[in-house]
Structure 1
Amino acid sequence: MKRTQRGITLLGFIIVLAVVGFFAYVGMKLFPMYSEYYSVKAALKGLASEPGTASSDPARIQDLFFRRLYISYSENVKPQNVKIRRADNGWLMDVQYEVRVPLVFNLDVVGKFHATQALVRGGNGV
């Protein structure tokens, strides 16, 4: 009776390990970008649920927003990325920014993020 060996060779294992390692590396580079985006969305929702925000002036709203972002260590959102404009029953806050993270050599990963939140009287944002 002939016995056949089964399994992966050392070369095959190294190739699989390299592919898995590369995707883990890319995931580690992308995770902070998306974590920051979810912090921005959480800050916007928190602002919308805070009573009296819709009655505040845009400078005060922007200050409250950046205080919330400071707590979550968000550093890619700048004041020029935040636009606040008058809406029907309050304000409409629009945050649009771009994050560029170096990946390997001269290749970068670019993430473009956009979040909008209505700050209406009564504290229930859309």
Structure 2
Amino acid sequence: MKSMTSQRGITLTSFLVVLIVVAFGLYIGMKLFPMYQEYYAVRSAMKSLAKEPGVGNMEPRRVQDMFFKRLYINYSENVKPANVKFDRIDGGWNMKVYYEVRRELIGNLDVVGKFDSNQELTRSGAD
């Protein structure tokens, strides 16, 4: 008399389905990672500008030049001077950076990232 043993595990078809889902997730991640890496470079450049002595008293053009020098180090390619705006606030500037990144995903489908960031630049003189 044979005893029935139950087998446990994943079938080849199930393994392929899991593999396809994981591969698609990795593909999406590869498309999104550079967009967010650039966004964090923009945030980092803005925060470092906020720590710059006398930035609240500088002209917007000079602040913008300093910002793009910091971005150039991080190889940012989607942020343009037209994406940077300055509003006067008490004791300095409010710097706004708004830009959009579009990456091809599959066929005629694109991934679009809209990034909007603000930073107050109020530090005056050497603290």
CA distance in 2: counterparts of 1:95 and 1:34, whole angstroms:
14
Secondary structure class of the residue paired with 1:91? strand
Structure 1 regions of 5+ residues with no counterpart? none
CA distance in 2: counterparts of 1:122 and 1:83, whole angstroms:
20
Runs of 4+ with deviation above 6 angstroms: none
Q: How many residues were matched structurally?
A: 123
RMSD across aligned C-alpha pairs, in angstroms? 1.0
CA distance in 2: counterparts of 1:117 and 1:102, whole angstroms:
30
Structure 2 regions of 5+ residues with no counterpart? none
Structure 2 residue 11 is matched with structure 1 residue 6 = no
TM-score of the superposed pair, with normalisation by structure 2 = 0.94
On the 8 A contact 2:52/2:123 being kept in 1, the answer is no
Q: How much has 1:121 moved relative to structure 2?
A: 3.0
Structure 1 counterpart of 2:74, one-letter code: S
CA distance in 2: counterparts of 1:121 and 1:42, whole angstroms:
17
TM-score of the superposed pair, with normalisation by structure 1 = 0.94
CA distance in 2: counterparts of 1:121 and 1:111, whole angstroms:
31
Name the % identity: 61
Instruction: Give the structure 1 partner of residue 114 of structure 2.
Output: 112
On the 8 A contact 2:50/2:123 being kept in 1, the answer is no
Larger of the two Rg values belongs to structure:
2
Q: How much has 1:86 moved relative to structure 2?
A: 1.1
